[in-house]
A and B are shown apart, each in its own frame.
Chain A
């Protein structure tokens, strides 16, 4: 199975900050990676697909990059509604595997 790691596991940031979350795969997954935002009590919402493509309707302050084994999600200017937990997901091979999550909270 492909293992996904995320760093950091949590971070505290202020509104307006630039935030970067890293996801690493235990083996190459091309660009078969998505990023998800989850708020408490809610379903995950996809932000990015194919590593760098912005999901329709998602604000342009979210961006993704990377290929192979290292990927990043960047929020260019953190907004109050962005405080949530973020997960990466690889779907290059079965089983699909999620990263353990990065919780972004208010500084």
Chain B
């Protein structure tokens, strides 16, 4: 069974940093591209970042470019999102999602809440 479990969320002050993790199990993690998607309270879904299976290709939304860094450790079956210079508008539930070939965003984790507030 595919499982994705996010962790690392919490309350952080504006300008602060946070590192999110996504632990994967039930599939060959090293064969899949992965994504982060966020959802602000009461709002819709927003794609944040993607990383290919070998980390060769990385993409970011303009809203986080230069502040967030996506990475992965295939030996540990884990995906990460390093978030720096956090702003109030980064407050959201952050989901990791797997990319199936030709049909991405097939499985999602349960999400982790990030709150940026003084």
Contacts and interface: CB of A to CB of B under 8 A. Distances in A.
Given A43-B95, A49-B106, A96-B104, A87 B45 contact: yes
Contact of A95 (B59, B105, B109, B111): B59
A89 B103 CA distance: 11
Chain B interface mostly helix, strand, loop or mixed? strand
Nearest to A38: B45
Nearest to A34: B105
A81 to B, nearest CB: 18
A97 to B, nearest CB: 7
B109 A43 contact: yes
A44 B45 contact: yes
Interface of A: 34, 36, 38, 42-46, 49-50, 53, 55, 87, 89, 91, 94-101
